[in-house]
């Protein structure tokens, strides 16, 4: 093709074929927004048989979201029907299912289709699924979730336990809990929600704590029928509430990146008062008192955890686990805690992202090579050698205590602008420059020491160097960055 013909070809608008990977919160969002923007040729690949992502996988008793429901909703699909300020998991799952149906997303989804590889060849992505289905697309949106792959502890004798044992995200609903002797390993958000929900059902609950957590007290009132009716009658009030909550979380998010901010002092004071005022036994209180600052680990929010752990049938076990035996958990003081059921609320592999998918970009570079020693992405969205490949809630983005829906909506708005470049024919391939990504990463690392996440705790935020793999700037900056891609940060071919 001569230069003139090539230029004509490049300038011609062209229909794009796209793939979205995952039909959780971010995948449903992508399908809706792609449709609204007039992209008609796309498929959402979902490995499971239904939508909902983390809300489909997590079904443990007590599951809820600690972002208020009126904020943890798509900004364009607010609902007056939330039952509680922090609604339970099944209700959130039902919300995503309903939105997917109402926005006609279902017909774009291929269920039971796990994408196993994406290979960039001749300017397009070759996609393959576990079932052998193949597709060729111009661009990919990976909406594969953050906390997705369970992290199992490495404790001696795990396989010898004779009772029921499972990870919190793989709940076995066939196991009877009423009257059982239940053990829970872990004290993160998951375990705390579970303890409150189960302590009144089981005969005995043993919570194996390796590290104490600060707990932010948070009431969870039900919305009355009158309140719901008022929201139904006045959609503007609903919008206003969403906007107010977003502003409030923005203030918190701006504070979390500065350990000395007034917001962090307020959080510290509230958590401390919660502990001092609500735990009566001084020995238990000291066991529950963390040795690091509040919000260093992902802040745990609960209205009733301290009440639950003080129930006569609850025990906080802090001696450290020696091994697991057929009859229960043996702690380092030699004691055997006999159990019928053992739940591993031990968290997730937070650095997996879209892995174990095999991804091969320009020049045969694999994701494993690109992310060795650790995941990196420009503004958490794109990687230099992976043209036309975009991530929602990817590495080093804002994943702290705020609405990942808001984060994904902002990121998708940015991605849509890049897709528009491809569709208009302005370019065939878009990817961030290595210089832009390295500059972002250097600035990110320079901002980390000021944040509360490095004030002396271990958490899933930390990478292999102990550096938090999260957005260390204000949320306002994130919003600004997401307004439009910076011309100089990208290579448009
Ligand atoms: P997590 O915060 O990573 O907590 C894992 C817990 O397991 C920690 O207490 C950890 O102890 C403990 N643990 C891990 N390995 C252990 C071992 N070998 N022996 C003893 N203890 C061990 O996991 P998560 O509670 O599932 O929560 C993960 C994230 O999911 C949360 O931070 C949050 O972002 C999200 N989440 C959100 C909600 C919500 O309401 N929005 C609810 C649940 C989860 P150490 O502290 O000592 O490491």
316 token code pair: 């906080």
Q: What is the pLDDT along the chain (493 residues), one digit of tens a residue?
A: 455 655 655 667 889 999 999 999 999 999 999 999 999 999 999 999 999 999 999 999 999 998 999 999 999 999 999 999 999 999 999 999 999 999 999 999 999 999 999 999 999 999 999 999 999 999 999 999 999 999 999 999 999 999 999 999 999 999 999 999 999 999 999 999 999 999 999 999 999 999 999 999 999 999 999 999 999 999 999 999 999 999 998 898 889 999 999 999 999 999 999 999 999 999 999 999 999 999 999 999 999 999 999 999 999 999 999 999 999 999 999 999 999 999 999 999 999 999 999 999 999 999 999 999 999 999 999 999 999 999 999 999 997 767 999 999 999 999 999 999 999 999 999 999 999 999 999 999 999 999 999 999 999 999 999 999 999 999 999 999 999 999 999 999 9
Mutate to test the pocket of ligand 1, among 170, 347, 402, 405 (most ligand atoms within 8 A of CB): 347
pLDDT in tens, 119-137: 999 999 999 999 999 999 9
Q: Does any ligand 1 atom lie closer than 6 A to the CB of residue 64?
A: yes
* Cα R_g (the chain), whole angstroms: 24
Q: Does any ligand 1 atom lie closer than 6 A to the CB of residue 185?
A: yes
Nearest to 60 by CA among 214, 157, 186, 220: 186
pLDDT for 447 = 97
The residue whose C-alpha atom lies closest to atom 6 belonging to ligand 1 is: 186
Q: Which residues of 146-172 are buried (b: 16+ CB within 10 A; e: fewer)?
A: bbbebbeeebeeeeebebbbebbbebe
The residue whose C-alpha atom lies closest to atom 33 belonging to ligand 1 is: 189
pLDDT for 1 = 47
* Ligand 1 center–CA 202 separation, angstroms: 22
The residue whose C-alpha atom lies closest to atom 31 belonging to ligand 1 is: 189
Q: Does any ligand 1 atom lie closer than 6 A to the CB of residue 14?
A: no
Q: Which residues of 377-404 are buried (b: 16+ CB within 10 A; e: fewer)?
A: bbbbbbbbbbbbbbbbbbbbbbbbbbbb
Q: Which residues are bridge partners to 118 per DSSP?
A: 127, 359
C-alpha 12, offset from chain centre:
39
pTM of the model: 0.96
* Ligand 1 center–CA 454 separation, angstroms: 17
pLDDT for 321 = 98
pLDDT in tens, 437-469: 999 999 999 999 999 999 999 999 999 999 999
Strand ranges across the sheet with 18-21 = 109-110, 42-45, 18-21, 139-142, 389-391
Nearest to 314 by CA among 275, 353, 279: 279
User: Cα separations (Å) of 402 from 238, 248, 331, 399, 410?
Assistant: 19, 10, 36, 7, 13
pLDDT for 304 = 96
Cβ 489 vs Cβ 433: under 8 Å: yes
Mutate to test the pocket of ligand 1, among 71, 89, 190 (most ligand atoms within 8 A of CB): 190
pLDDT for 4 = 60
Cβ 320 vs Cβ 332: under 8 Å: yes
Q: How far apart are the first and last CA of the chain?
A: 16
Find tokens 């991605």 and name the residue. 415
């Amino acid at each position: 093709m001569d230069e003139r013909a090539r230029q004509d070809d490049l300038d011609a608008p062209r229909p794009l074929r796209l793939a979205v990977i995952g039909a959780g919160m971010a995948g449903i969002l992508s399908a809706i927004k792609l449709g609204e923007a007039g992209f008609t040729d796309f498929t959402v690949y979902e490995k499971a048989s239904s939508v909902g992502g983390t809300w489909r996988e997590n079904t443990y008793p007590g599951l809820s979201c600690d972002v208020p429901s009126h904020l943890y909703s798509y900004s364009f699909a607010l609902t007056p029907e939330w039952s509680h300020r922090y609604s339970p998991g099944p209700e959130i799952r039902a919300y995503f299912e309903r939105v997917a149906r109402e926005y006609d997303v279902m017909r774009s989804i291929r269920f039971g289709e796990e994408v196993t590889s994406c290979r960039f060849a001749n300017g397009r992505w070759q996609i393959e699924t576990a079932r052998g289905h193949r597709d060729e697309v111009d661009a990919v949106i990976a909406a594969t979730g953050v906390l997705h792959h369970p992290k199992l502890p490495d404790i001696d004798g795990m396989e010898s336990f004779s009772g029921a044992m499972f990870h919190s995200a793989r709940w076995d609903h066939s196991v009877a809990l009423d009257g059982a002797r239940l053990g829970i390993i872990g004290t993160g958000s998951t375990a705390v929600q579970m303890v409150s929900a189960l302590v009144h059902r089981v005969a005995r609950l043993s919570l194996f704590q390796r590290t104490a957590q600060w707990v932010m007290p948070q009431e969870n009132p039900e919305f009355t029928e009158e309140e719901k009716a008022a929201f139904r009658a006045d959609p503007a009030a609903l919008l206003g509430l969403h906007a107010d909550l977003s502003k409030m979380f923005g203030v918190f998010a701006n504070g979390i990146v500065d350990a000395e901010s007034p917001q962090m002092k307020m959080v510290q004071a509230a958590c401390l008062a919660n502990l001092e005022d609500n735990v009566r036994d001084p020995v238990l209180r000291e066991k529950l008192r963390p040795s690091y600052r509040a919000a260093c680990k992902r802040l745990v929010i609960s209205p009733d955890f301290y009440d639950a752990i003080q129930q006569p049938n609850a025990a906080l076990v802090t001696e450290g686990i020696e091994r697991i035996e057929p009859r229960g958990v043996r702690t380092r003081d030699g004691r055997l805690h006999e159990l019928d059921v053992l739940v591993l609320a031990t968290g997730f592999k937070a650095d997996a992202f879209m892995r174990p998918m095999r991804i091969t970009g320009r020049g045969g570079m694999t994701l494993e090579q690109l992310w060795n020693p650790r995941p990196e992405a420009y503004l958490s969205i794109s990687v230099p050698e992976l043209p036309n490949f975009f991530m929602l809630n990817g590495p080093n983005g804002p994943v702290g205590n705020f609405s990942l829906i808001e984060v994904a909506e902002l990121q998708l708005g940015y991605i849509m602008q890049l897709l528009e470049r491809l569709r208009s024919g302005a370019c065939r391939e878009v990817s961030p420059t290595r210089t832009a990504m390295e500059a972002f990463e250097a600035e990110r690392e320079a901002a980390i020491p000021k944040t509360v996440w490095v004030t002396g705790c271990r958490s899933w935020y930390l990478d292999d160097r102990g550096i938090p793999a999260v957005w260390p700037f204000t949320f306002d900056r994130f919003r600004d960055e997401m307004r439009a891609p910076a011309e100089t940060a990208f290579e448009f071919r």
